[in-house]
Amino acid sequence: MRHFYLDTNVFISRWKPDDPYYSEAKIVASSLQKGEISAYTSVLTLLETASVAGRLYAHRMKDKGPEQKKMFIIKTIRRLVVMRIRFIHLVGDIPLRLSNVKVDMPTLLADSIFLSFLTALRTLDLMHIATARHAKQIDSEKLGAFITGDAELLARKDEISKIIGMPVLSPKEYVHALGLQ
């Protein structure tokens, strides 16, 4: 389980002291930086991080202009990238055939649509689940868990675990299971 799929919210939780997984998210980030554990995540995590950073900047900082906001977002993304995380991107288009309809679309979106047949989740959650499932196929020997602080995903962990072929754990459960400090 030292190799896991990182949901975006775990990375973001370490900036929010009021988050229920704040302490564990900081431990996960520190352990990633030290190379004690390793993670996969979707390239969507970069987008979600940029989005959150932009909102944090607008909320917490006095607007000092677009260049400062841009630099804040870039620095935030760098903090994610330096953690030695492997970013997964499902490349290519595939034909999506539903009845008499055929649409060529990005693999990630098509896989997410097929997952919507199995479970009712929000769009980005479906996309993370699709990416985690793909990462598990790439590295089935090592990839041991999907780590998330998302209450909806945690409430449905048994269902999602069956879909992706690995346990779904909260950051607290993950840190405890590995004895990280």
Return the CATH number at 173.
Answer: 3.40.50
Q: pTM for this structure?
A: 0.91
35-to-24, 49, 85, 168 alpha-carbon distances in Å: 16, 21, 10, 22
- Please tell me the total count of domains within the chain: 1
96 belongs to a structural domain: no
The answer to whether the beta carbons of residues 21 and 171 sit under 8 Å apart is yes
pLDDT for 118 equals 94
In a domain, 118, yes or no: no
Contact 13, 52 (CB under 8 A): no
DSSP state of 85: P
Flag whether 95 is in a domain: no
- 78 domain residue, yes or no: yes
- What is the full per-residue pLDDT of the chain (181 aa) written as tens digits? 799 999 999 999 998 899 999 999 999 999 999 999 999 999 999 999 999 999 888 777 766 778 888 999 999 999 999 888 999 998 889 988 888 888 999 999 999 999 999 999 999 999 999 999 999 998 878 899 999 999 999 999 999 999 999 999 999 999 999 999 8
Q: Do the domain assignments include residue 85?
A: yes
Would you call 18 helix, strand, or coil by DSSP? coil
Cβ neighbours, 10 Å, residue 178:
18
Q: Take residue 24 and report the two structure tokens written for it.
A: 């564990």
Q: Identify the domain containing residue 17 by its residue range.
A: 3-89+127-178
